[in-house]
Amino acid sequence: MSVSRPARIAIKARGKILLVEAEDVIAVEARGNYILLLRTAGSHRLRESISTIEEKLSPYGFLRIHRSVLVNAALVEEIQPWPTGEYVLRIKGGREYTVTRTYKKNLHLLAQSWIGTDGFITE
């Protein structure tokens, strides 16, 4: 019998390798030559590009919503449209992120079914 375990991500931080559960990662923000991996309990600064981290984290349900931001889709609670064509995502805990027009097509991946949202997120 196989026991299902949560997905874990190994990161090198402060000279150690930490094993963090993917569900504890809220978002990843690009900061120059580094990324900031935001967790429910703190954050880690890593020398990695946002594109590389996007490839590594997309199998765990992370979506690119901005040229410098990935979010954990499982933690998104609300999508608010703006008149500019952009959107704002609210994550569990209250943090908000802007979804730029370039990445709004990725919002379709947030839910398996969309009910009563015809025309809400259009190309």
Structure tokens at 3: 């026991």
**Domain with 12 in it: what CATH number?**
2.40.50.1020
The domain in which residue 27 lies consists of 8-110
The confidence score (pLDDT) of residue 64 equals: 96
Q: What is the pLDDT along the chain (123 residues), one digit of tens a residue?
A: 455 566 888 888 888 999 999 889 999 999 998 999 999 888 999 999 999 999 999 999 999 999 999 999 999 999 998 998 899 999 988 899 999 999 988 988 887 777 776 666 655
What pTM does this model have? 0.84
Question: How buried is residue 18: exposed, middle or buried, by Cβ count under 10 Å (0-12/13-18/19+)?
Answer: middle
119 occurs within a structural domain = no
The confidence score (pLDDT) of residue 6 equals: 67
17 occurs within a structural domain = yes
93 occurs within a structural domain = yes
118 occurs within a structural domain = no
The count of domains in the chain is: 1
96 occurs within a structural domain = yes
21 occurs within a structural domain = yes
116 occurs within a structural domain = no
The confidence score (pLDDT) of residue 121 equals: 62
Distance CA 58, CA 70 (A): 9
117 occurs within a structural domain = no
